[in-house]
Structure 1
Amino acid sequence: MFDMDVQFLFDMASQTILVNDKEQKAIITNPQMSENEERYLHTMDCVTLGHIVTLDNEKFLVVSETVTKRHSKYKAKIRHCNYTIEFAGEVIEDYLRDENGNIVYDRFGEPILITIEGDSIFIPSIVKNKTFSIAGSQLLVAENQIIVIVQESEVNKEKFKVNNTFNLMDYNWKVRNQDRTKKGLLILTCERV
């Protein structure tokens, strides 16, 4: 009976959000003001560390571990992704083909080589230039370094390997360290190059 009452109240007060691009009902509350745009996310289904939440067309990253229910619901802290890092799409070299799929040749009888660029990849991220803290643990970085927090995924682990570079804020950055101690998050220390 209690669970049914909680579910009814939850359904009345909740709104629809996206969690990893899937619709889910949630109640959003505000923590104390801080320099970061943060919210508490209350859900009936578990939302875990590293999930991407879309709220009011903005991307947020779940930055607190949520394993068990609190008062018949899950509660997680989400932080606004203040940057989106863009990686160029995969480049494929192929031969020019006609509408039937046959290779097209130039006037010398050579196949015409073309370059096809795939869609860019956009990775929502939290970027800080001085310090970053999650659940009381604080990371300090040098003047020419930033901390980048992204969702832990196969694509992100590949794109942000140690020594890989990316462009952000009109600078090129090299990944110096990839911290995976918070399951679901990649915490990267990056240096300007």
Structure 2
Amino acid sequence: MGDVVTFKDISYLVVTETIIKRHGKFKSTMRYCNNQLEVTGSEGESIPVPIIIEEKSLQVDGSGSFRVLDNEINITLQDNEINRDTYSLNTEFLLINGNWKVTQHNYTNKGLLILSCESIAMPA
């Protein structure tokens, strides 16, 4: 889980584990990476990081009413040391014509780093 696969110049992220054989083969689920972030490498070079962006569009609060959040997204990317350091809590970055801030990390899936991000005002 967490491997990036490139097929016909399109990036996919492996999002399920391959522990046991299914029908005689090890199988896993890959998801299409719908965007990418840029990370600065150790020698100053720009490295593209394939990501999956999902909107957080609906949540239920304690009273049972619905809240729609237009200013939050989840970003799923490969979990490695460079990505953990680059996208630590409260890190701000530009994506999809807006500025975003990392508000939470989710490490529940081995090999995947899931970032909860909220939109912040563009600097003047």
TM range (shorter): 0.7 to 0.9
Counting aligned pairs with the same residue, the percent is 42
Separation in structure 1 between the aligned mates of residue 76 and residue 53 of structure 2, nearest angstrom:
7
SS state at 2:27 partner: strand
The number of equivalent residue pairs is 111
Q: Deviations over 1:73-109 (max 9, x none)?
A: 111110000001113556xxxxxxxxxxxxxxxxxxx
Larger relative CO (CA 8 A, sep 6+): 1 or 2? 2
Separation in structure 1 between the aligned mates of residue 91 and residue 13 of structure 2, nearest angstrom:
23
Whether 2:47 is the aligned partner of 1:121: answer yes
2:92 counterpart residue number: 165
Separation in structure 1 between the aligned mates of residue 97 and residue 39 of structure 2, nearest angstrom:
14
1:56 counterpart residue number: 8
SS state at 2:117 partner: strand
Whether 2:56 is the aligned partner of 1:130: answer yes
1:39 counterpart residue number: none
SS state at 1:158 partner: helix
**Contact preservation (8 Å) 1:85, 1:122:** yes
Question: Shift of the alpha carbon at 1:66?
Answer: 1.3
Rate the CA distance shift 1:141–1:155 in 2: closer, same or farther, 3 A.
farther
From the CA coordinates, give the structure whose radius of gyration is larger.
1
Q: Deviations over 1:153-188 (max 9, x none)?
A: 111111111111111012111100000011110111
CA RMSD of aligned residues (A): 1.9
- 4+ runs of 1 displaced by more than 4 Å? none
Question: Shift of the alpha carbon at 1:141?
Answer: 7.6
What 5-or-longer segments of structure 2 have no aligned partner? 58-66
**Contact preservation (8 Å) 1:87, 1:166:** no
Give the alignment partner of residue 17 of structure 2, picking from 26, 49, 65. 65
More helix, by proportion = 1
